[in-house]
Each structure stands twice: as C-alpha cells, then as structure tokens.
A = this chain, B = another copy of it.
Amino acid sequence: MYRTEVRQMTAEAKPASLQLTERQEARRRRILHASARLASRGGFDAVQMREVAENSGVALGTLYRYFPSKVHLLVATMQDQLQHMHETLRKQPPADEQPAARVAHTLMRAFRALQREPHLADAMVRALTFADRSVSPEVDTVSRLTTAIILDAMGLDGPPTPEQLSAVRVIEHTWHSALITWLSGRASIAQVKIDIETVCRLIDLTAPRRP
C-alpha cells in the first residue's frame, strides 16, 4: 500500500491528456501486453511492477504515470480482455429460445475462456474485487462492459426495465463472486455452472410474458 491520504502528483491533475500520441498509444499497449503475459504465468502475484516496466521497455515512473497503481493496471488489463471477449461472443450469439438460457450459455462460454488462462483470470478478478474507491471509474467501465455482454445475450427488443437491470446486476454479482470461489479452489467448475444457471432464472422471473 503506502498511499498518502490525497494522492497529489506534482503538477498534473489526473491522467495523461486524453489524446495520446502514437508512441504513447504504443507504450500503453506494450504495458498492457506485458501485464497480461505476466498474469498468465503466475496470476496476481506474478505481475510485478518492476517487471512489467522492464518487459514493456518503459521506466517504472512512466508505468506509474500510465497506471497509477497495480490494481489500476490489472483492471485496465481486464477492460482490454473483456473488449475482445465481447466481440468474440457477439459473433456467435447463443441460439437458445429462452433469454435465461441464452445468458447462461454466454456466461458459460466466457467461463470456459477464462479456464484456459486461469492465472490471468485470477489476476484480473482479484484486482477487480480488491479495488478501492480510487479505481471506481475504471471498475465501473468493466461493470458496464459486463452488463453490455449480458444484455446482448438477453437479446431484448426494447430497453430493459428497471427490474431487468436489477436482475442483471445480481447476475453480475454472482458471476464475480462465483469466479472468486472457483479461483480460490473452494468451488468446482460444476458448481459455478449450477450457480450461474440458478441466478439466470431471475431473468425469466422478470420477463413473465404470457403468450
């Protein structure tokens, strides 16, 4: 930790200028890449800031200018991965009849992807749930992405009702927490599957259209 009450960098207020030059964009990308690679190896603990800096050919101070903490870095890494995931999932929408089944299948597909890189999943999810208020904006972005994936899977006609949004929030809660119990070896893959299917029943509950 080691963080003074109000983070007060020398001069600038918050992030780098929103418009990055090409070189800066490349640096950022190198950093995220190194982060993901190290995370794939050994999870949260294996992502060491000095090593990330070295592997991405950037000074430690620069790394901290781009991502003000390790958690920021890993949450940004998760954003990045989620983006890919969203596109991949969008390409092959689930074919099920019921919205609940579509969401459950989509999440299980995402889960299988995470199983292929369990260490990376560990790093990202641990960072996400460990994040404190200073990371709220970034975590919020991840949350919105996840919500978008679920809403996509539901395949609604119109905008979601408040009830449906509540259900989606609860599904997200379950998703994150179930991942954690799996990652820490306290729940099996089968158990995660059951939990996801169970919570997805809430969707049918909030859209009880009678034909």
Contact = CB atoms under 8 A, between A and B. Distances in A.
A199 B202 contact: yes
Interface string A114-156: 0000000000001001111101100110010000000000000
Q: How many copies does the complex hold?
A: 2
A184 B45 contact: no
Interface string A166-190: 1101101110111011001110000
Nearest to A196: B170
Residue of A129, A185, A194, A205 with most chain B CB atoms under a 10 A cut-off = A129
A198 B199 CA distance: 10
In terms of DSSP, what is the predominant structure of the interface of chain A? helix
A195 interface: yes
A173 B185 contact: no
A51 to B, nearest CB: 13
A54 to B, nearest CB: 18
Interface in A89-106: none
Nearest to A131: B184
Contacts of A177: 129, 172-174, 176-177
Q: Closest 5 CB pairs between A and B? A: A173-B177, A129-B129, A173-B174, A166-B198, A177-B177
